[in-house]
Structure 1
Amino acid sequence: MTVMETTPAPTQAGVDACRAAPEAHPRPNGQDRYTISEVSAITGLTAHTLRWYERIGLMPDIDRSHTGQRRYGNHDLDWLAFVNKLRLTGMPVADMVRYAELVRLGDHTFDERRELLESTRRDVLHRMAELQDTLAVLDHKITFYAGAGSAQQPQSA
């Protein structure tokens, strides 16, 4: 399995969840070839970022037309959607590139891929807990100011 291959449509538990995620941008029916500018418009990534992803190995093996123009397919858009989710987790680019390498190496790397994703998941859960604590402080202050506004008393921060 390569980075660009997609998993079968989900029919049971355990199928790659990123494949089942709803698409943020509808794709033209029947279209499976996109220019870099079309991919940029669909994904919100700049052409510079797409070229950089290719250069560092995060998006290898992009098909080219006879004139050398990049031609992305739906499988590339699926991969970019997954990479975007990894970016949102705060996963370092080096880890994303390592994950892509593991995917290219094949199914025997499932354990290492899982470990990488589990580590990222732990980091996300930790950040979520920090944000929950921060939200509680904000809620407390908002409640305080809502009550203090009616009393018109000077208060500390």
Structure 2
Amino acid sequence: MTVTETTAATQARAEQLCSPRPPVHPRPEGQDHYTISEVVALTGLTAHTLRWYERIGLMPHVDRSHTGQRRYRNRDLDWLDLVGKLRLTGMPVAGMVRYAELVREGESTYAERSALLEETRRDVLARIAELQDTLAVLDHKISIYADAPRASERH
């Protein structure tokens, strides 16, 4: 396999991995109330992280049961999914909290939210380009090592 073929195959795998896919832990059908331990199981986040998100204003208001226990809803799980994606972009926590504040402020903040996400998108594209360059170097080195035993056998 040539470096170009290897790079193309790697890019195809990366595109496959990056395509939208169902959540790792699908939600129970018809359910819209979750305890904190259920959310931990569904999201992979810790209870400490969920409480911290709430404390810093990253998590919108979470409903409580009559005994004061948190009761998360599907909209909360959707929000946590978005927060997870924003974390993967490398967006600082302060930026995520700012975005959450803008969402709570309503439709009048669409332009500011869009600008924040566009800036994050530019950062992600720059990181992808850096990773693609790095991948090309790795593919080149791998191809050299793959050919090395054959070259030493000839001598």
TM-score (norm 2): 0.82
Structure 1 gaps of 5+ residues are 1-20
Distance in structure 2 (CA, Å) of the matches to 1:83 and 1:142: 36
Letter in 1 for 2:117: L
TM-score (norm 1): 0.81
Distance in structure 2 (CA, Å) of the matches to 1:23 and 1:79: 15
How far residue 112 of structure 1 moved from its aligned partner, in angstroms, is 0.2
How far residue 149 of structure 1 moved from its aligned partner, in angstroms, is 2.1
Letter in 1 for 2:28: P
Runs of at least 4 residues of structure 1 off by over 6 A? none
Aligned twin of 1:106: 106
Aligned twin of 1:62: 62
Distance in structure 1 (CA, Å) of the matches to 2:58 and 2:120: 17
Letter in 2 for 1:33: H
Aligned twin of 2:82: 82
Letter in 2 for 1:42: L
Backbone CA RMSD of aligned residues: 1.2
Distance in structure 1 (CA, Å) of the matches to 2:34 and 2:107: 28
Aligned twin of 1:132: 132
Identity, % of aligned positions:
75
Structure 1 residue matching 2:31: 3-state secondary structure: coil
Distance in structure 2 (CA, Å) of the matches to 1:70 and 1:135: 44
Distance in structure 2 (CA, Å) of the matches to 1:23 and 1:94: 28
Superposed CA offset, 1:73-96 (max 9, x none) = 000001111111111111111000
Which is helix-richer, 1 or 2? 2
Structure 2 gaps of 5+ residues are 1-19
Superposed CA offset, 1:97-139 (max 9, x none) = 0000000000000000000000000000000010011001000
How far residue 22 of structure 1 moved from its aligned partner, in angstroms, is 4.8
How far residue 23 of structure 1 moved from its aligned partner, in angstroms, is 3.8
Distance in structure 1 (CA, Å) of the matches to 2:22 and 2:101: 24
Superposed CA offset, 1:27-71 (max 9, x none) = 112111000010010011111110000000011311111111100
From the superposition, tell whether residues 134 and 22 of structure 1 become closer, same or farther in structure 2 (CA, over 3 Å).
closer
Aligned twin of 1:48: 48
Distance in structure 1 (CA, Å) of the matches to 2:84 and 2:138: 29
Question: How many pairs are equivalent?
Answer: 133
Structure 1 residue matching 2:142: 3-state secondary structure: helix
Aligned twin of 1:149: 149
Distance in structure 2 (CA, Å) of the matches to 1:71 and 1:83: 18
